[in-house]
Amino acid sequence: MLSFAPTTAAARRAPLSAAPAPRRAPGGLAALQRSFGNQAVQRALRDNESPEGVDPTMLSDQDAGTDGGAQPAPPSAPPPAPAVTVTLPAHIQAASSPAGMPDRIPPRVDTPASITISGLAASAPPVTLSIAGGSANNGTATINGAATAALRASATVQLRGTAQTRPGNAGNLMLVADQGATRLAATPGFSVSAIPQNWSITGAGLVTGTERGIDVNNNWQSDSGVVADLDEASRSEQVQYGVGTGCFAGVTGSNSGYRPANSPPLVDHHAAPLSLLTGPGRILAEQTFIFIDNRTGATDIPARNSGFRLTREVAAPSPGTLTITTTKAGTATSANGFASAAGSGTVTSGAQAV
């Protein structure tokens, strides 16, 4: 027999205990779970975070590269082209310029200038040489016979004066090196001027009457090759007497000053008065030449190859008879502090009766 416990009113009113509600997946995750199931969603998330393979059922729209990692370095820039270096002569000075001469070149003849170039790339523009400052007053010059010279390597170029510098405008020319609009180098200023050099002598006759000695044609050259270019130059002799003996003891002489250099020859008069020639004796005199150049402003410059020695010697070949021999010869020497290499030529009087 079955028995049933009576149901009370309270029991009838007690609600059934509800089962706990399932936890909802956050946001769109629930939708994924409903569509694909939990395992597919977990796999999709796992593949997104740390791929272990490619799921053919999933799309991938990730950025390329590794999230949060270092990006590839950009390609390195090519090294810069080396800087072009140009070395010009420290001075534009002709080899014919004596010591103490301001920088200058002569007209009409070439003066070499050594140019050194380094670092010029094959694709770069050439280095262009020119003469800056050229004008009627400053003078003009060419480079290898032209106004400019384009160089891609070291070379020796030839500078030639084409118009001389006018007095008062010295040192306004420069040899310059440019690459395009960039100036790479420039020399100190220089001028164009011709100067006298290379003295020579020839005989012009014996001195007789109340004197004994020789007249000598004194000639010289211009370093331009044309003496007329010396129209702004003057020259002067320098004579230094040695210690005389006999009739020449204590004797000195008189000498000339500056004279125009563009009209050689001039005659040197080398004579001794008969009144001085009273017995045997000997004396030497050293002679050099100096010049002034108005174009460069140079003064008292020793001329190249202008040295001479003058010898006077009185002898008594027999009792009561005197003769004098006067000789001038090119000699490297110095006179009054102005030294020069030897001029050319020898002139002698032979034994002249006194």
Express each pLDDT in 247-304 by its tens digit: 999 998 888 899 999 999 999 999 999 999 999 999 999 999 999 999 999 999 999 9
> Would strands 191-192 and 104-105 be described as parallel, antiparallel, or unpaired?
parallel
Express each pLDDT in 171-219 by its tens digit: 999 999 999 999 999 999 999 999 999 999 999 999 999 999 999 999 9
Read off the pTM.
Answer: 0.76
CA dihedral 292, 306, 247, 212 (to 10 degrees): -90
What average pLDDT score do residues 7-12 get?
Answer: 42
SS3 of 34, please? Answer: helix
Cis status of the peptide bond prior to 265, with omega within 30 of 0: yes
Confidence of residue 36 (pLDDT cuts 50, 70, 90): very low
Ranking 21-35, 93-107, 127-141, 179-193 by mean pLDDT, the lowest is 21-35
What average pLDDT score do residues 123-151 get?
Answer: 98
**pLDDT at residue number 11:** 41
- The residue with tokens 């050229």 is 134
> Residue 335 has which token pair?
């006179």
**pLDDT at residue number 17:** 45
**pLDDT at residue number 258:** 96
Asked whether the predicted pLDDT for residue 38 surpasses 80, the reply is no
- The residue with tokens 């110095």 is 334
Asked whether the predicted pLDDT for residue 44 surpasses 70, the reply is no
Cα gap 157→151, rounded to integer Å: 10
Asked whether the predicted pLDDT for residue 22 surpasses 70, the reply is no
**pLDDT at residue number 10:** 43
What average pLDDT score do residues 106-135 get?
Answer: 97
CB 64 within 8 A of CB 71: no
Cα gap 121→6, rounded to integer Å: 115
Ranking 56-60, 88-92, 272-276 by mean pLDDT, the lowest is 56-60
Per-residue buried b or exposed e for 173-183, using 16+ beta carbons within 10 Å of the residue's own CB: bbbbbbbeeee
Confidence of residue 80 (pLDDT cuts 50, 70, 90): low
Asked whether the predicted pLDDT for residue 336 surpasses 60, the reply is yes
Share of the chain above pLDDT 90, in %: 75
Ranking 41-45, 135-139, 143-147 by mean pLDDT, the lowest is 41-45
Beta strands in 43-100 (DSSP E): 85-87
Own/partner pairs, 183-186, CB within 8 angstroms, 24+ separation: 184/84, 184/85, 184/86, 184/127, 185/86, 185/87, 185/88, 186/88, 186/132
Using CA atoms, how far residue 36 sits from 43, 78, 272, in Å, is 10, 55, 140
- DSSP classification of residue 49: H
Per the prediction, the chain carries an average pLDDT of 86
Using CA atoms, how far residue 38 sits from 31, 61, 120, in Å, is 10, 22, 72
Confidence of residue 70 (pLDDT cuts 50, 70, 90): low
CB 105 within 8 A of CB 224: no
Express each pLDDT in 160-174 by its tens digit: 999 999 999 999 999
Burial class of residue 213, CB neighbours in 10 A (0-12, 13-18, 19+) = buried
Asked whether the predicted pLDDT for residue 93 surpasses 50, the reply is yes
> Residue 41 has which token pair?
């969603």
Asked whether the predicted pLDDT for residue 69 surpasses 90, the reply is no
